[in-house]
Structure 1
Amino acid sequence: MKILVPVKRVIDYNVKVRIKQDCSDVDLSNTKMSINPFCEIAVEEALRLKEAGTASEVIAVCIGPKIVKEQILAALAMGADRAIRIDVEEQPEPLVIARLLAKVAEQEDAGLIMMGKQAIDSDNNQVGQMLAGIMGRPQGTFASVVKIEGDEALVTREVDGGLQTVALKLPAIVTADLRLNEPRFTKLPDIMKAKRKPIAETTAADLGVEVTSTQQQLSVAAPATRQAGIKVASVDELVDKLKNEAKVI
């Protein structure tokens, strides 16, 4: 069974995001970029399934210009067997991404698509569900445990009421949550080996997908800064401020 793992290039989660002066977008100049953390967890889980003998091959796929090769190499260094880059200049919207991934999954005959539940830049949490709808495949979102038993994937997912386990008939789509695993640390020899692994390149036109946008970004704003807290001398003063100033009681 082949496992297809989409990975996305995002601002490193340790970096403080800066907004351009004209508020048109996020300032990416001299900013450290990394694999989306949820995608990294998905790569790790795919590798563990392969090491357990469940999968035969792990394929990383990334959508973007040549600059995303850095993140592709990171996935290959973790242990992915090969990679595919879909050449797109601007990051497309979720529905287009889902259509592109569906074409690649069909070409590769992937038995499982393991992906992050969302990207930390847009936080849409849409691609996995859209992909399942387009391909007509069962889906398990927010996975905290994944087990393959025969032709089924048993996925324990986090829901509002606790944990829910669903059985998905393969081929299926699973989106990874934070508690699924802890990604491995890549060693220098693995990083050197990654440079010799194959990276195929294709385009949206080759896949028969039109890259169009129905969304327009009007502006980007930083979140409001929190006001400094105050100390109160008694419970009565606290209740008074909550009631008359904060008006929360």
Structure 2
Amino acid sequence: MLNKIKKVATFILTLGLMISVITPNRVIASENQYEATSLKKYEDLRIIQSEELRTDAVNKFNSLFQNGKIEYSEEYFDFDNIKIAEMNGEVYATISKNDSVLSTVTIPLNTNENFYVENYFYEKDGNFWIKTKQDGEVISDVDSEIQFVNNDEILQGIRELNDYAIQSQQRGLNVSCFLAVSGAGATVSGLIAKVCGTPCVLAPPTCIVCLGGIVVVGGGSIAAAVWKCWE
């Protein structure tokens, strides 16, 4: 278990997905260096196409489902759109639920570790609630305080964020935030910020869920842009 926790912690640091607090008394140069490093880490995250890795991912996901490890059965998940992401040599696979694209299960592919993380977005009292599980154990189940919208609106929001990220890159990624994005796009960015914010500060092993969300919304390019909003 200790080795597993260390592995997850290493993964978190590698992806740079844990929100760190920059105290006011730090010098500007340090802040700029931190920001540049964070952006670079996000931009290095890439989605890869590999039939061999996809087959490996399908086999590992099937094993989890067949052994009753996942909260929902396999028919609830979109096996046709498994996402494979790589960063600094580490490769992970993410699969989404059919009715909730941000609800994901994420597993490592090129390591001997067998940990897995489930992240589910669901409606309760009119808001999105976010349940995070690691190796079948509930880590957190919290109210995002963001109004619930259906999956079609989330998909539209993802398209809006991708379009905005592309425009931002063309302008040198010099916009400070997604101020021009409203509606579903703002909902998506807000939900990912919730997942990658406080839970990561309080319980670092849960930060692996950030990978699933960022991969689903478009990978490193959009992550680098959204990071500007999270600072």
TM-score range, shorter chain: under 0.3
Q: Between Structure 1 and Structure 2, whose CA radius of gyration is higher?
A: 1
Considering fraction of residues, name the structure with more helix.
2
> What TM-score does the superposition give when structure 2 sets the normalisation length?
0.23
TM-score with structure 1 length normalisation?
A: 0.22
